[in-house]
């Protein structure tokens, strides 16, 4: 089988605003693996995920993708194009229709011909259950619908991995399920996923592995059942207590 991990972080350090947020993170994500990242607010979850597609440039340490070290002094666009990212606040382009949101990057970045980009976008909209909304504006959609469009937009680049940063945290509770269902489907198809989440049920059901981040370090790591049901550290026990 594919022994080499798709993503490998070696001793990543990152400071923001004079404060060291990531303090030496080493982590492998295997191909097809769903890795869930949990941890208290401010523990560096977003910073970690943003380092992987270099929205934040690590101060120290290396990131390997598909066996090669990604060099931050080289153009990063090609790297970013093969890693999809979904944000907590959707960040759809409000001046473009749903369809154009999805086709923009494939046509401009990949040079996909517009007819094929449209076809791909329609397939993806169908997959996230929004076939009837391709002509809508983002502002006309519910939060759950916007987030599903955002997932389709990222998938349209046919990425090798997907990063999710608390993608259901800005949603009304009744809209969370429709987004998680799409992510579950992706996981089932073997997408490599790094998921920052507070949805412990999702982590348990869908995740292959869970990482507990605390103070910019990996404090615990293991299979979801171990981490979520038999936490070893007091800190994780306390953290999980908030979700009981």
Partner 1 sequence: MELNPYFEFIPSALANTALLTVSALSVGVALGLVVGLARIGPVGWLRAGAAVYVEVIRAVPLFVQILYLYYGVGYLIRKIYVPSPFVSATVAFGICYAAYIAEIFRAGFQSLDRGQAEAARALGMTRRQAMRHVLLPQAFRNILPALGNEGVALLKDTSLASVVAISELTQVGGALTNKLYKPFEVWTIIALCYLALTLPLSWAVRKLEARLRVRGAAHPA
Ligand X SMILES: Nc1ncnc2c1ncn2[C@@H]1O[C@H](COP(=O)(O)OP(=O)(O)OP(=O)(O)O)[C@@H](O)[C@H]1O
Residue placing its CB nearer to partner 1 in the complex, 89 or 235:
89
Binding residues vs Mg ion (CB under 5 A) = 46
Which residues sit at the interface with ligand X, rule CB under 6 A?
16-17, 21, 39, 41-47
Which of ligand X, partner 1, Mg ion, none has residue 138 at its interface (CB below 5 to 8 Å by kind)? partner 1
CA distances from 139 to 131, 150, 171, 196, 197 (A): 17, 13, 15, 25, 25
Containing H/E element for 176? helix 173-188
Nearer to ligand X, 37 or 191 (CB): 37
**Least distance (Å) between residue 102 CB and partner 1:** 10
Instruction: Pick the closer one to ligand X by CB: 14 or 133.
Output: 14
User: Which burial class, exposed, middle or buried, applies to 33 when counting CB atoms under 10 A from its CB (0-12, 13-18, 19+)?
Assistant: buried
Where on the chain is the footprint of partner 1 (CB under 8 A)?
Answer: 53, 55, 75, 77-78, 80-85, 87, 89, 91-95, 104-105, 108-109, 137-140, 150, 153-154, 157
Q: Which is nearer to partner 1, 26 or 169 (CB)?
A: 169
Angle made by CA atoms 55, 60, 64, in degrees to the nearest 5: 65
Q: Considering CB distances under 5 to 8 angstroms, the limit depending on partner class, which of ligand X, partner 1, Mg ion, none binds residue 139? A: partner 1
Q: CA-to-CA distance for 202 and 168, rounded, in angstroms?
A: 11
Q: In which residue are the tokens 């945290």 written?
A: 169
């Amino acid at each position: 089988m594919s022994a080499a991990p798709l993503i490998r972080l070696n001793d990543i350090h990152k400071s923001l605003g004079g404060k060291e947020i990531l303090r030496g993170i080493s982590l492998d994500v295997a191909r097809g693996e769903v890795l869930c990242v949990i941890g208290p607010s401010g523990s560096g979850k977003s910073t970690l995920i943003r380092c992987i597609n270099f929205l934040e440039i690590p101060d120290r340490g290396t990131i390997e993708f598909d066996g090669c070290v990604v060099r931050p002094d080289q153009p990063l666009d090609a790297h970013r194009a093969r890693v999809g990212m979904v944000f907590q606040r959707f960040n759809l382009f409000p001046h473009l229709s749903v369809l154009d949101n999805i086709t923009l990057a494939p046509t401009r970045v990949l040079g996909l011909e517009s007819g094929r980009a449209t076809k791909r976008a329609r397939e993806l909209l169908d997959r996230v259950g929004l076939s009837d909304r391709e002509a809508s504006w983002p502002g006309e959609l519910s939060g759950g619908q916007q987030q599903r469009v955002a997932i389709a937009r990222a998938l349209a680049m046919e990425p090798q991995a997907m990063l999710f940063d608390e993608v259901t945290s800005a949603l009304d509770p009744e809209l969370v399920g429709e987004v998680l269902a799409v992510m579950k489907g992706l996981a089932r198809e073997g997408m490599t996923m790094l998921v920052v989440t507070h949805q412990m049920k999702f982590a348990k059901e869908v995740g292959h592995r869970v990482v507990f981040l605390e103070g910019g370090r990996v404090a615990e790591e293991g299979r979801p059942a171990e981490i979520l049901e038999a936490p070893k550290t007091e800190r994780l026990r306390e953290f999980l207590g908030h979700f009981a």
